[in-house]
Each structure stands twice: as C-alpha cells, then as structure tokens.
Chain A
Amino acid sequence: MVEYLIDRHSGLSPYLQIVEQTKRALRLGVLRPGDQLPTAREVVQATAINPNTVLKAYRELEREGLVDSRRGVGTFVRRSLAKPQTVADSPLHAELAAWVRHAREAGLDREDAAALITIALDSGFAGPAPATTGTAGTASATHTTGTTDTDKADEEPG
C-alpha cells in the first residue's frame, strides 16, 4: 500500500503528484503486481483533494496499463515499473551509495552532491538512449510526456 503526500504549493497539480508518486512506488518496488491502490475514498480522506482528481489520476494509470480497476473491489497494480537496477540492493544503488560516501569524504555537502548529480543527469540523459538499455520498454513509448514529467518530479526532492 502506498500513501500519497500531496503538496499544494509545489506548483505540480495534485493529479500529476498522484500519478508520479504511484509510478515511483512502482519503480521502487513499493507496489508490486496484484497490490491494491488505496481507494479513492482513502486518498481523498487523507489528503483532502478533489475526488475527481484521484479518479482522473487512476484513470490515467489505467490508460497506461499500469493498474486495473475492478468495480466494487478496487484498483490493482497490473504491471511493475521496477527494474532490477533500481531496487535498493542493486549494484547500481551500491555504486551510487559509494559515490555519495566519497563525495562526503571530499567535503561536499548535500546540496553540492545533489547539484553534481543533477548536472550528470542532465548531460547523461540529454541524447537518445543508448541501445544497451533493453528493459526500457516497460513504459510505453507513446507516453513520453509522462516520463518527462517523471524526471522533473524526481528532480525536486533531489
């Protein structure tokens, strides 16, 4: 189960916040296929956002084929976005953790490190994807806008 945290002053619409937070949970393996998303009632009661916004976000997730809604039962995860590389005990995570350690030892503070990572992300993801990332097809290519937003959203918490 996930809990949505809606920031009303983030400038990002609550609708996108729900979509993105769901996707992040799918990517991090917090949500797995078969898991149930909180009901619209639960989300609305916890966050005090418009129910139609929640339904709209769920509809978008359904349209992307990530969740299934079963009337009277709930909305369930259909497909995970988790790649082996993104979970917490993956080699990539270990490398990044080691890098952060180095950075700290070198006297960088949190903001410095975040800035470096952002720069690296910006330049690394600027061109077309290298052919080697064969698992990238999990998210449909038609939803490029969605993925762009994802990147933006992910930047903010840094």
Chain B
Amino acid sequence: MSHPIPDPADHLADDPPALEAIGLGLKYRRQWALRDCDFRLPAGRICGLVGPNGAGKSTLMSLAAHLLTPGAGEIKVFGGPPGTPAARRRTAFLGQDKPLYPRLTVAETLRAGHELNPGWDQEAAERIVRHGNLSMSARVGGLSGGQRTRVALALALGKRPDLLLLDEPLSDVDPVARQELTGLVLAEAVENGTTVLISSHVLAELDGVCDYVLVLGDGRVRLAGDVDELLVSHRRIVGAHEGDDPVPELDGHHVVEVRRTGRQVTAMIRPTADLDIDWDVAEPTLEELLLSYLRSPDAPALFTPGARPAAGAGAAR
C-alpha cells in the first residue's frame, strides 16, 4: 500500500498556523521595538527570521515564548495566546544567551527538563548531548559556549515542542558543529513535524535550511513568505546603462534595489510582466534576495499569499 509523502502545503487551510501576528506591537520606553506586525507562519515550516540588529527579532521571539506581552495587537501560537498551558507545552525557546543553571551538571539539567515538561523525550535530549561527546556529569558552568549551546538545544528539543523558537542559536558554535547541530534540529523537526523559527544574521546559514522567511526591519515586517514562491517571483538583473537618469529597463516592475557601479547596473526586481530585456537575468539565491531587501528599507513590504493573517487583518501596504 502506497502513501503519499506528506507535503507541508497539505495542511488544511483552517488548521491554525503555528504562529500568527495581527497588528502586533511592543514599545520599550518610547521606542517601538516591533510595530504593526502582521504575518502568519503555517505549521510544519522551517522559517528564517532575518533582520539587522535591533530590528525586533528577539522581541518577536520573546513575545511568542510568552516572556513578553504585546503592547498592541496580538500574537497567537497554534491559534491561541502564548500563555495558555497548552501553548506553553507546545513551545520551546532557546534564547540568544542560552541561559542555563551553571551549578547543575549536564545530567541534572536534562533532569530539570524532564521534571518541568510532561512530554519530555530523554532519549532525544541525550542523543544531542552525546553527539558532542559531552560528559553527562560535567558542570554546565564549566562548558564552552558551543557546548552550552548543545545542552540548551537538548533541553529545547527534549521538550518535544510543536513550535521551536531559536534566537541566534549557533552564534558561538564552530562551523563543524554548526552543520551538525543544524542537522540535529532539522532531524528532530522532521520526525515530529515541528515548526521552527530560527533567527540568524548569517544569511548563508539559512540558505537551504529554511523554506519560509520573515524579514524584519526597524520593527516592521519587510518580507514574509514561502522561500520558493519568493525566489520564483524575483529576478536579479545585470546590465549596462549610462548616466544617473532612471533605467528604462526597470520601468513597470517592482524594483527592490538598484545598484550602479560605473556603467553596470545590478537590480533586484519583482517583474510584473515577462522580462523582455537584453540583460543578464537570473533567479536570485535566498541570500541575494534577503540582502537586497535588508539594504533597501524603503522597498514596500511583500507577503506571499499564505503569509498574511487569515482574518484579513493585514491591510495592504
């Protein structure tokens, strides 16, 4: 008997998204850390959260983890507020500084995870720790940054979350362990259908890892949606043009970014019609696409169809 391999897009439309923000905002003192945020992250996706420092990435993560409460709008985890017991059980959070109890041993840290979470998966947690050749009796306070990250990840994944929030998880991990830990996270995710929201400022780190992206800039959503859809709808074009006047080849298309070096013009555009120009046209890589949005704070925000809140709350910008 043959069964189709599950497709994340198969999720029913009325299935609650893993994460949804409607008009979400938060102010620190007088400064908006996050403002008018509308987006939707369908369940089962691996979503990259991208933006410059201070763009609101950590704030968004903390709101989803119920460490902060919204100052405006609302945020929903699987259709409900983040503070409910069910949401608490279904969400795991790994903060940027990976807080752990320094005086506990690795084994005791995992035991704490076991004691604090009813759905605890000791085997999965131990697997992650052992992959790094960590001694279970080592004190957490004496571990290196990378080892601490591994223990913190074991704690987050041992919880068997449905939504895993990783805030700059691999910033202090060496490249070899980075690949290995990413693999471990994704392996646990695929086995349990976990939705992952992972922030990083190393864009290359997200390429191939994410199938969804959320780009924040200055506290607002700049770009949100399915990676394939976004890549297909954009083109990176390179051509020649004299002078500083507008480039006629770009007319009629949504221009994300134009850069000129002497006579050469490089642009990231979202074509509205067939591109019939003599320029070098290519589908961008994810890194190129993200960079061009990050470099152009004035480009209009873009959402792919599934990336807006369902209730029509997200007004067109």
Contact = CB atoms under 8 A, between A and B. Distances in A.
Given A41-B187, A44-B183, A44-B186, A52 B5 contact: no
B3 A71 contact: yes
A53 B5 contact: no
Interface residues of A, number: 27
Contacts of B180: 48
A59 interface: yes
Interface stretch (A62-70, A91-99, A105-113, A140-148): A62-70
A2 interface: no
B6 A8 contact: no
B2 A69 contact: yes
Interface in B171-185: 179-180, 182-184
Size class of the B contact interface (CB-based, 8 Å): 20 to 34
B3 A40 contact: no
Contact of B2 (A14, A51, A52, A70): A70
A116 interface: no
Given A40-B190, A41-B190, A44-B190, A52 B211 contact: yes
Chain A interface mostly: helix
B186 A48 contact: yes
A50 B209 contact: yes
A59 B208 contact: no
B166 to A, nearest CB: 13
B101 to A, nearest CB: 28
A50 B208 contact: yes
Given A58-B5, A69-B3, A51 B46 contact: yes
Interface of A: 6, 8, 14, 40-42, 44-56, 58-59, 62, 68-71, 75
Given A49-B208, A75-B5, 18 more contacts: A8-B208, A45-B187, A48-B179, A49-B209, A50-B209, A51-B187, A52-B8, A52-B46, A52-B211, A54-B190, A55-B5, A55-B6, A55-B8, A58-B5, A59-B4, A62-B5, A68-B2, A69-B5
Interface of B: 1-8, 44-46, 179-180, 182-184, 186-187, 189-191, 204, 207-211
